[in-house]
Amino acid sequence: MPVSAPSAAPRFFPGLESLRGIGALTVALYHVSWQSHFVHWSFVRNGALMVDFFFVLSGFVLFHSYGRKLGTWATTLRFVAIRFGRLYPLHLASLSAFVAIECAKWSAVRFHLAQVGSVPFAQNTLGALIANLLLIHGLGIYDQPTWNTPSWSISVEFYIYLLFALVVGLFRNKPLLLATSGALAVTGLLVSWKAAGGLDSTAKYGFFRGLLGFFCGVIAWHCYNRLRGRFAPGTLAGVSIALGVATVVFLCWMERGLADFFAIPLFLGIVLTTALLDSRGTSLLDARGLVWLGTISYSVYMVHPVIVWGFEFVLQYVLKLPRPDYYATGVWTGDAIVLVYAAVALIVSGWTFRHIEDRFRRKIRASVERWRE
């Protein structure tokens, strides 16, 4: 039995786009390093699990977009090139920013200009730089992320794209495709459970974390395809709100460890109900600002560590604040700084989206489309 065609479904899910933006902003708050109410809010402290939400969402959306298109070498090469064009330009730009920062730290130490918090090029080595350039730095080569730390998940995602294209191309039979997706998700679950004890691993076991989320997302799309149009919008809205509340409560009260795995079914439920609502034209999350946040979410995710570094520089070298744990701002002052930081991150991310991410994505996609001619 062939895989069901996604063509009858909507091409764009505004609710899912908004959720992606909320997740990216949560990750940006998770990396705040000065005292504020945000750093003590458990929802933000557990914000690293948003990466697993991204994996689930990516599996769902990519099968929706490419589930019928992959199957030949030509379509697979086009898919890989388009995804590379989506990820790599901004990865390279943000990596370049951190290379400049590391060089500045080295100059400060070499010429006795200032003390720095970490030894230049100690963790961010030349070898790690080469691995980042090759997008292999999230595949277990290093125990911890290097350079632009969130980019470990970009490395993982890119190679999962290759595996996804292979699986979809080989298994056109739906039961086989679902069985393979399930086996890969279970593999990710078992390795994350036994080797990492949860979903906290990044560069070392992050690939298996990605397998779990991504291929659960693929399975979620098939559930969506079967359930589309079968429930009233009111029922879907109620279930979606209940799942959203349950997820927030869970992230506010959970302790990291094996409890991490309970986040996956919650994320699956949110993605599924939101997509079903979007397919009925009844999104709860289609506000223009939220959709815009989702549009620039990849830029927010990749650029915010550079913004955090800039704020840390001001706190340490301009305001002369020590950091025994967090920079010693008052919590209310820290809240104000967080709001300024968020505004700066959104402004800069809007710029990088227009001038780097979207610009080069369009150019690379246009070049790829010419392969068909």
Residue 72 lies in a domain: yes
pLDDT at 7: 41
**pLDDT band (50, 70, 90) for residue 324:** low
Q: Domain range spanning residue 93? A: 14-372
**pLDDT band (50, 70, 90) for residue 2:** very low
**pLDDT band (50, 70, 90) for residue 9:** low
Residue 272 lies in a domain: yes
Residue 7 lies in a domain: no
When computed from its CA atoms, the radius of gyration of the chain, rounded to whole angstroms, is 21
Residue 4 lies in a domain: no
Residue 232 lies in a domain: yes
Q: Is the pLDDT of residue 118 over 80?
A: no
Residues 46-61 have pLDDT tens digits of 999 999 999 999 999 9
Mean pLDDT of 193-216: 93
Residues 269-300 have pLDDT tens digits of 999 999 998 887 777 788 889 999 999 999 99
Contacts of residue 127, defined as CB under 8 A and 6 or more positions apart, other chains included, come to none
pLDDT at 43: 92
Mean pLDDT of 211-236: 91
Q: Is the pLDDT of residue 244 over 50?
A: yes
**pLDDT band (50, 70, 90) for residue 6:** very low
Residues 58-103 have pLDDT tens digits of 999 999 988 888 888 888 889 999 999 999 999 999 999 999 998 9
Residue 98 lies in a domain: yes
Number of structural domains in the chain: 1
Residue 8 lies in a domain: no
Residue 102 lies in a domain: yes
